Structures are given as C-alpha cells and as structure tokens.
Amino acid sequence: MKKAVIVLPTYNEAKNVEELIPKIFQIAATVANWEIHVIIVDSYSPDRTEDAVIKLIKRYPRLHLLRLKERGLGLAYLSGFKTAIEKLQPYLLFEMDADLSHDPKNIPEFLKAIEAGSDFVIGSRYMKGGSIPNDWGVHRKIFSFFGNLIIRLGFMKPKITEWTNGYRAIKVWVIKSTSDQLKNYSGYVFQIAAIDRALKQGARISEIPIKFVDRKHGQSKISFPQYIFDIFLYIFTNSSFVKYVIVGMTGFVIDFGLSFIFIEKLKALVWFSTIISAETAIISNFLLNNSWSFSHKKLEGGLLTYIPQFLKFNLVSAGSLIIQAGGIQLFVNIFGRELWYLYKTIIIIFIIIPYSYILYNKVIWKER
C-alpha cells in the first residue's frame, strides 16, 4: 500500500479546519491501496487553529500538527514536505488549501492520474470541466485568468492551463529534486516556481478539472497588485523563452548592425551581407543561449561534445539563413533595396524567432 500525505498550511483557519479534516478522512476511507495522512502546518494562528487540530488528532490518528514560527506559504509547504518525508516516508505529497476552496472529493481523481503515470498533477480551474466562483468580482476574475494566461505564454507552455492554484499531487522524487530551488519563493510565485522547476527536471505533468469555491470563513490573503508584479518578475528572470527573446534581440542588433555596414557602407551584395551578418548573430546566440537561456539543459562534456553540437546548431540554423537571405532577396527584387531593413525586420520577428525557438528545443537543447 502506497502512502500519501496532504500538507495543509494554516493561519487563522480554525473553523475551516474543523470542517475540512472530517471530509478528507471520509474520502480517504473510500480509497483503495492508499494510506492517506494529513499534516497541518500552523504558524501559531491568533485564532488558536492548533487547539482545533489537537482535538481532531484524538479522532484521526493519521492527522499530524507541525508548528512553524515563520509565516509564508512556500516555507510552510517545504517544512511540511520535509517532515512528511522524514517521519512518514510517503510516495506522494499533496498541496491543498485549508480554507475549503479545494474539494476533498477530487482526491481519488488525483490518485488515479498518478497511478496512470503522472509525476505532478494539477487541479485546474481553467481546463474543460473546471470553474471559478460565480460570485467573484470582475477584477478578481480578470487577475486570475490573465495571470495564468501570461504565465502560459511567458513559459511557452500553453497546454498547462493552471499555474497558480495550490491543489496538487506531487511524487516525492519531484519534491526532493526541486525543494532546494524553491526556498526563496512564497505565495503564488512558489506555486509557479514549483511547476517550472518540475518541468526542468523532466517531470510528467497532467491536470484534472476542479471546481474552485470561495472560502467560507476568514479573509483571503491575496494582494492582487503584488500578485501580478511577482508573476512578471518570475517570468522575466526564469523563463527560457523570455531569455531566448532577449538573446535574440542581441543577435538582432549584431545582425542588423553588420548588415548596415556591409550593405550601406561597403555596398556589398545584399544576399552575401545577409549571410555574413546572420551567421555572426547565430554564433553569438548559440553561446548566450547555451550559457543562459537554456542553462538548465546546458550542453556539456568538453570540446569533443561541444564542437559537434555547435556544428549541429549551425546546421539547424541554416534554415534561418536560407529563409532570411532568400526572403530579403525576393523582397528586394520585387520592391527594391531601399527598404531592405524593413524586409529583414519582418522576416526575423515573424518567421525566424518562432522557427528557431522550436527547433532549438526539439534538436539542440532537448528536454532531459
């Protein structure tokens, strides 16, 4: 029988805990082949949440209490995970909110997805079958929906519809391989980082639909302006795609600058100038992408490995050279060479950037 531990961070959740815990263990009793425990991580709540938990422990021997002086969602989860792994040796860990917004009836669906081969299962409000509360204000719906959309686009992972909801089932090996990288994150950024780091470790991620409901007791701890700011900051500093775009802009400056010198100053042939400038930019892009954009899957192994991969990179990138040189020459033949810089800009932005990013991920910096 495999063991799963549900970690519930709490702060002033006494009334919610009294209602939630019986529901969890009622569902747990119906699940075959799984022994389910719950660890409540309480930060010395002023409403004495821990007293409510202590009373419940007498009824539910698989309920545990961890007291934590420091506050913070990320710290609470990591502390709960560590305690669970050390004392209970589970196969699976759950994240779950203690405010009754996550329905325990979904627990069997999470377990089914894990048994089907997933390493990390997310409860999604935005996939088919999921939902958010109808009584949410317009501003909250907008922040939640567009926050997730920004993340999906920022990481170029549109298939993952939910990044910020904290109802999840995660295999212990994923937690062990990512926990050190998550120590500096809290709140919704912790949830985003957990998925990002799991993906970079090669975890198989899937989603199940959930119907999110608003808390019954207490107050929400969300600060929406901070929420949006933190999302943008994390994406900007961690997204391989955003880094790739920045590197691409650097390459664009190199490419554009050399083209200008060759075409305008030296009066060289347009196709020849394009090849020289583009190849120089490709070399720069390779070095920067390998050391920064795709550092989590950096090419390693010394010169004997590095040089063949670099040649392979050039071979893959040859397509962008052909597209760019041929495309610009076609425009020049039709419209003249005066607006060569406009043709070049259009081709790079709308064809070369997406073409290169897809091929780099599929051929050069493959997922491990």
Which tens digits make up the pLDDT trace of 81-128? Answer: 999 999 999 999 999 999 999 999 999 999 999 999 999 999 999 999
Q: Are residues 81 and 179 in the same domain?
A: yes
pLDDT at 308 over 90: no
Distance CA 277, CA 285 (A): 12
pLDDT single digits (tens) 152-166: 988 888 899 999 999
Q: Are residues 229 and 244 in the same domain?
A: no
Q: Are residues 157 and 181 in the same domain?
A: yes
pLDDT, average across residues 301-323 = 80
Q: Are residues 275 and 317 in the same domain?
A: yes
Residue 170's pLDDT is 99
Structural domain tally of the chain? 2
Q: Are residues 251 and 169 in the same domain?
A: no
Distance CA 166, CA 154 (A): 20
Domain end marker among 205, 238, 271: 238
Q: How confident is the model at residue 341 (pLDDT cuts 50, 70, 90)?
A: confident
pLDDT at 366 over 90: no
Q: Are residues 203 and 67 in the same domain?
A: yes
- By the 8 A CB rule, do 365 and 299 touch? yes
Domain end marker among 173, 206, 238: 238
Q: Are residues 307 and 227 in the same domain?
A: no
Q: Are residues 71 and 189 in the same domain?
A: yes
Residue 6's pLDDT is 99
Residue 120 β-bridge partners: 170, 205
Residue 103's pLDDT is 97
pLDDT at 221 over 60: no
Domain encompassing residue 118: 2-238
- By the 8 A CB rule, do 66 and 88 touch? no
Q: How confident is the model at residue 136 (pLDDT cuts 50, 70, 90)?
A: confident
pLDDT single digits (tens) 266-294: 888 888 898 899 889 888 988 899 889 88
Q: Are residues 253 and 281 in the same domain?
A: yes
Distance CA 235, CA 242 (A): 7
Residue 302's pLDDT is 73
pLDDT single digits (tens) 4-23: 999 999 999 999 999 999 99
Q: Are residues 25 and 98 in the same domain?
A: yes
Q: Are residues 234 and 252 in the same domain?
A: no
Q: How confident is the model at residue 368 (pLDDT cuts 50, 70, 90)?
A: low
Distance CA 344, CA 271 (A): 11
Indicate the residue type of 74. Answer: G
Residue 218's pLDDT is 58
Q: Are residues 141 and 205 in the same domain?
A: yes
